[in-house]
Amino acid sequence: MKTLYLVRHAKSDWGTNGLADIDRPLNSRGYRDAYSMSNILKEKKLMPDLIISSPAIRAISTALIFCRIFKLKTSEVIINENLYETSVNQYIDIIKHIDDQFKSIMLFGHNPIISDLASGLITPLTENLPTCATVGIQFPADFKEWGKIDNTNGKLILYDFPKNHI
């Protein structure tokens, strides 16, 4: 059985004029939310075998916080350039090329793509994911190859976000 966790990066800081979008950091709420959500997932024992992140600073920062809380090696976070300013098809292509030895994957990305991807893999999930939202999708027991992900509907096992815990 395979599980895919989709995480929208935490809240970013818009306060620095002239900063390229890819270089925007998290703001203080973003840091707080990333620590909060990663601790919630750890308590539920919902931790991945592999973490993949967009190269945007806000996505990498969110992924590294999750990684630290999960006590995973930060050096093993995979940064994939194709998760930034791209399409759902590109996200799917990245997932298709993941080694089948990995049973659970956590992918950190951006809206609207991450929301569109979630709604395409789960019926029905039609919400726009808020910042630091996490969606857990479990695929049927006979789903053994990430390469077949576009032909499979998953089951929603988790949909959580920071404002659920305020």
pLDDT single digits (tens) 107-124: 999 999 999 999 999 876
Overall average pLDDT of the 2-9 stretch: 97
Residue 166 pLDDT greater than 80, yes or no: no
Overall average pLDDT of the 146-156 stretch: 85
Q: Which pLDDT belongs to residue 17? A: 86
Q: Which pLDDT belongs to residue 60? A: 98
Predicted confidence (pLDDT) per residue in 13-32, tens digit = 998 888 999 999 999 999 99
Residue 125 pLDDT greater than 80, yes or no: no
What is the chain's length? 166
Predicted confidence (pLDDT) per residue in 75-115, tens digit = 999 999 999 999 999 999 999 999 999 999 999 999 999 99
Number of domains in the chain: 1
- 């990333």: which residue's tokens? 34
Average pLDDT, the chain: 94
CA distance 12 to 19: 12
Give me the sign of the Cα torsion angle 41, 4, 2, 80. negative
Q: What is the CATH number of the domain that holds 51?
A: 3.40.50.1240
Q: Which pLDDT belongs to residue 21? A: 95
Q: Which pLDDT belongs to residue 12? A: 97
Closest CA to 78 of 105, 48, 53: 53
- Domain coverage including residue 56: 3-165
Q: Which pLDDT belongs to residue 146? A: 96
Q: Which pLDDT belongs to residue 72? A: 95
Alpha carbon of residue 41 to chain centroid: 12
Largest CA distance in the chain: 50
Tell me the pLDDT band of 151, cut-offs 50, 70 and 90.
low
**Confidence (pTM):** 0.96
Report the range of poorest mean pLDDT among 33-42, 47-56, 62-71, 135-144: 135-144
